[in-house]
Amino acid sequence: MNKKNIQILSSIFPSYFAKKFYNRLLHPQIRKNRSHEIATLAKADKKFININNNDIQIYKWGNGDKKILLVHGWEGQAGNYADIVEQLLDNHYTVYAFDGPGHGNSSGGKNIMFEYADTLDKIITKLEIRKIVSHSFGSVVTIYGLNQIPSYKIDRYVLLTMPHSFNNYVSNISNKMGLSEKATQLFIKKLESERNVKIESLDLSKYVQNINVDKALVIHDEKDKVIPISDAEAVVSKWENAELMKISNTGHFKILRTPDVAKILIEFMEN
């Protein structure tokens, strides 16, 4: 069904489409790894740890004296970081990554989006992580998780794109799908009812003021079509310890496979 038809039908049957959007957004589609991603995952030491009744797949590469955690985005998985993993290993890091709940090889329950957000703080403290890289919705998950452990200090944090708020994130996706405003609002009300929280309160520009990060770098493509650069600008303007680096020609996903981006984040981690 094309975007125009969804827009028309979701205006006529908002409840039906709100339910479909709910199921689609809270339950990720599993995407296949590329061949080089499979090869990188095959080299990792693997184990499962149980967090909130989900079996979470943990990956570990190398035994360097510097430890770092990679957090993937929505409908992604640890293998998406294959190119960055290889460069980190060349720079003597011990690299950790994981498949979020309902992603990759990890199990998931009913509300995978929020299960993901409720998982990260446990991983950070269990692995004693001080350096983090996140991508897209993984940045929301990471900032939310760090809010759960405000006294825990992160030395360096690189965000490869980030949305401004959960509300913006939902709006961007619903607009791309063609979902009507009425159906979108019904979806938001359902989320708020289940989580007992106002979606508009999930504003990253507020959350970043409560986390203990020594220095952060947001790298965001100026023409990102999934999350606009204005989202990153809005958050960084309220985040005292963060700076924004605008780049071009990477889009939203290619940023993970761009060698220069990996070099920038490694230099930031080292300094």
The Cα–Cα gap between 204 and 209 comes to: 9
Q: Please determine, for residue 99, whether its predicted confidence score (pLDDT) is greater than 90.
A: yes
Q: Which one, of 175, 163, 171, 142, lies nearest residue 233 by Cα?
A: 163
In this prediction, residue 202 carries a pLDDT of 76
Q: Please determine, for residue 213, whether its predicted confidence score (pLDDT) is greater than 80.
A: yes
The pLDDT tens digits for 158-199 are 999 999 877 777 777 787 778 898 988 898 888 788 777 777
Percent of all residues in the chain with a pLDDT value above 90, rounded to a whole number:
66
In this prediction, residue 6 carries a pLDDT of 84
The pLDDT tens digits for 8-47 are 888 988 898 888 888 877 777 778 889 999 999 999 999 9
Token digits for 165?
């708020």
Token digits for 90?
């060349």
Of 11-20, 50-59, 141-150, 224-233, the poorest mean pLDDT is in 11-20
Q: Residues 88-110: what's their mean pLDDT?
A: 93
Map out the domains of the chain with their CATH numbers: 1-27+169-197 (no CATH), 43-165+203-270 (3.40.50.1820)
The Cα–Cα gap between 144 and 149 comes to: 9
Q: Counting beta carbons within 10 angstroms of the beta carbon of residue 96, is it exposed (0 to 12), middle (13 to 18) or buried (19 or more)?
A: buried
Token digits for 190?
């359902």
In this prediction, residue 256 carries a pLDDT of 97
Q: Which one, of 202, 227, 192, lies nearest residue 22 by Cα?
A: 192
CA 253 to chain centroid: 12
Q: Which one, of 163, 173, 190, 170, lies nearest residue 3 by Cα?
A: 173
In this prediction, residue 84 carries a pLDDT of 98
In this prediction, residue 194 carries a pLDDT of 76
pTM given for the model:
0.90
DSSP 30: P
Token digits for 206?
């507020």
Q: Residues 116-124: what's their mean pLDDT?
A: 93
